[in-house]
């Protein structure tokens, strides 16, 4: 029976690299894959999954208007599909995740999703929350904090490297905007960021 998998991690854990390696393994065995990534993530170019070690592959893009079950079903009419791979899965909607459940359950195609678990404030992304609830298999990929412990959190920083404690949940960026930290150091830096923003917001005397 096909399954829905969620591979999650903090930034810089090699999620996209792992996805591209899985895609290569399928294709090396003569199997057909279909890759997806979020339309709003254009760091490697729109419709491209790119990794920090310079691997990349073209992909279909999804946003809220895309019906993944329908799109994958249409592709299945043109060629066999042995695996669906989804990058930046934190940006999926709950409806998307339900559609991917149907791909695994009704179409019998394994679905491998890769993404962040939490945002820069330690809150679950909607797509990640749905995947944590509905995926058949959950796999944590490991990243490393600056202290050497496992990094599980994503700290957003400004141009000067200071922690950002408030703002929109979604802000696309790489190492210039996010730092992977263990929980202890994440909250330490976040409190520093909150204090700094409060100080900057005070009127001058």
Write down the pLDDT at residue 183. 93
88 catalytically annotated: yes
**What distance in Å separates the CA atoms of residue 117 and residue 140, rounded to the nearest whole number?**
9
Asked if pLDDT for residue 29 goes beyond 70, the answer is: yes
Q: What angle do CA 200, 156, 134 make, to 5 degrees?
A: 135
Contact 11, 118 (CB under 8 A): no
pTM for the whole thing? 0.86
- Could you tell me the pLDDT band of residue 11, with boundaries at 50, 70 and 90? confident
Torsion on CA atoms 7, 11, 17, 23, rounded to nearest 10: 30
* pLDDT tens figures, 116-166: 999 988 899 999 999 999 999 999 999 999 999 999 999 988 888 888 877
Token pair recorded at residue 113: 């999703």
In order of their start, the domains of the chain are 4-201 (3.40.50.300)
Higher pLDDT, 44 or 117: 117
DSSP states of 103-120? HHHHS---EEEEEESB-T
Contact 139, 170 (CB under 8 A): no
Asked if pLDDT for residue 203 goes beyond 50, the answer is: no
**What distance in Å separates the CA atoms of residue 40 and residue 114, rounded to the nearest whole number?**
16
Contact 61, 46 (CB under 8 A): yes
* pLDDT tens figures, 61-93: 999 999 999 999 999 999 999 999 999 999 999
Highest-scoring range by mean pLDDT, 39-43, 188-192, 199-203: 188-192
- Could you tell me the pLDDT band of residue 42, with boundaries at 50, 70 and 90? low
Among candidate residues 88, 140, 159, 194, the one labeled active-site is 88
* pLDDT tens figures, 154-182: 998 888 888 887 777 767 655 568 899 99
């Amino acid at each position: 029976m096909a399954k829905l998998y969620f591979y999650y991690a903090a930034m810089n854990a090699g999620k996209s690299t792992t996805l591209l390696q899985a895609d290569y393994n399928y294709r090396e065995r003569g199997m057909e894959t279909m890759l997806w990534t979020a339309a709003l993530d254009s760091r490697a170019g729109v419709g491209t999954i790119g990794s920090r070690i310079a691997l990349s592959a073209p992909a279909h893009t999804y946003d809220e208007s895309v019906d993944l079950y329908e799109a994958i079903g249409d592709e299945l009419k043109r060629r066999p599909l042995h695996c669906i791979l989804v990058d930046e899965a934190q940006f999926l909607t709950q409806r998307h995740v339900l559609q991917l459940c149907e791909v695994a359950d009704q179409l019998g195609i394994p679905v491998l999703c890769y993404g962040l678990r939490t945002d820069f404030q330690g809150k679950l992304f909607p797509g990640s929350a749905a995947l944590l609830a509905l995926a058949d298999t959950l796999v944590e990929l490991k990243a490393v904090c600056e202290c050497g412990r496992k990094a599980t959190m994503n700290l957003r920083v400004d141009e000067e490297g200071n922690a950002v404690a408030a703002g929109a949940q979604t802000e696309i960026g790489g190492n210039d905007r996010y730092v992977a930290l263990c929980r202890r150091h994440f909250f330490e830096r976040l409190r520093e960021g909150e204090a700094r923003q409060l100080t900057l917001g005070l009127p001058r005397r």
